[in-house]
Amino acid sequence: MTPVNAIEVVGVTKSFVRHSEPAKSLKERVLTLRRNTTTRFNALDDIRFDVPMGSSIGLLGHNGSGKSTLLKCIAGTIRPSSGSVRVRGRIAALLELGAGFHPDLTGRENVFLNGSILGFSRAQIERIFDDIVEFSELGPFVDSQVKHYSSGMYARLGFAVAVNVEPQILLIDEVLAVGDEAFQRKCLDRIDRFQHEGRTLLLVTHSPDLARQICDRVVVLDHGSQVFDGDPGEAAAVYRRSLAQRGEPVPESMDRPVRIAAPEIVDRIYAPGDSLELTAAFESDRMLRGARPRLFVHANDGALAATAEDLGTVDGTSGSIKLTIHDLPFMEGRYHATIALFDDDTELDRSAAHSFDVMTAGRGVGRFRLQVTVG
């Protein structure tokens, strides 16, 4: 069986008319009357790629590369000038959180409004309403008017609706920057779950790190042209090269001379007392001598739960760091492991977090497993 594509982008070109500085006064208008002040330019030029169902694809590009325009063509808010986009399944776009919220309506009313904008029936929204409220952490505020919300609450409710309506395809456009760190982690977690449910994800970003962390394939756009389609690591290199060639400022996150990939964890679910193996690849622009890895484990609420130092040293320009946590001391919950490399006390780089779950068989509350004997 050939894989079914969730999204097919077939030779999409989008050209805009660029208006020169508009004439300000009547006199100017008369003077420039017959002068042609418009030029056409291609925001997108013959873009073509497929997004198979269940895959996570990144769209990487600098500001003005056309990636947002492409996302709008896929979401259907603008039409391509030529070519076409075929979408199979229900899309939810996180283009801007809380799009369509009405300030005078309550959070509850807006959830139903927003859900129906995404094409869901009342019964479908009622079924997931409690999940949405829980995810948004709004509590009783869900019955106050949205105009009294803080921007964080607004964004949380928007994200909660978009991910909980369980669309088949989720489009994300740089919205992960909202909210505090704990909420961001929750969003990444939700995206992780979304991926494991076999749903399709399209992420638009200018951060190669984020693309590498989330996507299994990346398309790179450069001034409206598609310059690469393939492995996220190579895509990052292509992107970096194209930025450097043009002498454009390279985003800070890529400036780091040392880069650690997100750690891979063999299993996902553990019991207290298990051993857990983590492997994280690293590469460095300069020769490392005696750099020291450190391990951080955060609980799901963002609090630092445990650290480990004195994990030996790392040398060379690339390689992998392999760590094993013995006798896992955690109780039930989700945890996030991060590996960092230090040169003396200077942090060289810190990987993105990888999460794992701990399940306990019996009862037990709290974060750590205490071994207690009587007498």
Q: Does 90 bind other proteins (CB under 8 A)?
A: yes
> Considering only 58-66, 93-101, 148-156, 324-332, which stretch makes contact with other proteins by CB under 8 A?
93-101
Report CA Rg, the chain: 24
- Say how far apart CA 251 and CA 257 lie, in whole Å: 13
Looking at the Cβ atoms of 56 and 242, the one nearer to other proteins is 56
Looking at the Cβ atoms of 169 and 288, the one nearer to other proteins is 169
Q: Does 87 bind other proteins (CB under 8 A)?
A: yes
Q: Does 49 bind other proteins (CB under 8 A)?
A: no
CB of 326 to other proteins, least distance (A): 23
- Say how far apart CA 202 and CA 93 lie, in whole Å: 9
Looking at the Cβ atoms of 73 and 288, the one nearer to other proteins is 73
Q: Does 185 bind other proteins (CB under 8 A)?
A: no
CB of 195 to other proteins, least distance (A): 6
Q: Phi then psi for 312, rounded to 5 degrees?
A: 80, -165
Looking at the Cβ atoms of 67 and 72, the one nearer to other proteins is 72
> Considering only 23-31, 98-106, 295-303, 327-335, which stretch makes contact with other proteins by CB under 8 A?
98-106
Q: Which residues contact 140 (CB under 8 A, 6 or more apart)?
A: none
- Say how far apart CA 133 and CA 149 lie, in whole Å: 14
Task: State which of positions 190-249 bind other proteins (CB under 8 A).
Answer: 195-200, 214, 216
> Considering only 52-60, 242-250, 320-328, 339-347, which stretch makes contact with other proteins by CB under 8 A?
52-60
Q: Which residues contact 74 (CB under 8 A, 6 or more apart)?
A: 7, 9, 85, 87, 91, 171, 202
Q: Does 113 bind other proteins (CB under 8 A)?
A: yes
Among positions 42, 49, 50, 105, the unique one binding other proteins when judged by CB under 8 A: 105
Among positions 30, 31, 117, 250, the unique one binding other proteins when judged by CB under 8 A: 117
Structure tokens at 191: 């995206």
Structure tokens at 292: 């020291």
Q: Does 296 bind other proteins (CB under 8 A)?
A: no
Q: Does 83 bind other proteins (CB under 8 A)?
A: yes
Looking at the Cβ atoms of 55 and 136, the one nearer to other proteins is 55
How many other C-beta atoms can be found within 10 angstroms of the C-beta atom of residue 240?
15
- According to DSSP, the β-strands at 269-270 and 354-358 are parallel
Structure tokens at 134: 């829980």
Sheet holding 169-173, edge to edge: 5-19, 38-52, 225-230, 217-222, 56-61, 200-205, 169-173, 91-94
> Considering only 189-197, 202-210, 285-293, 323-331, which stretch makes contact with other proteins by CB under 8 A?
189-197
- Say how far apart CA 184 and CA 364 lie, in whole Å: 27
For 257-287, letters b (16+ CB in 10 Å) and e give ebbbbbbebeeeebebeeebebebbbbbeee
Q: Does 54 bind other proteins (CB under 8 A)?
A: yes
CB of 81 to other proteins, least distance (A): 6
Q: Binding residues for other proteins, per CB under 8 A? A: 4, 16, 53-54, 56, 72-91, 93, 95-96, 99-100, 102, 104-105, 109, 112-113, 116-122, 166, 168, 195-200, 214, 216
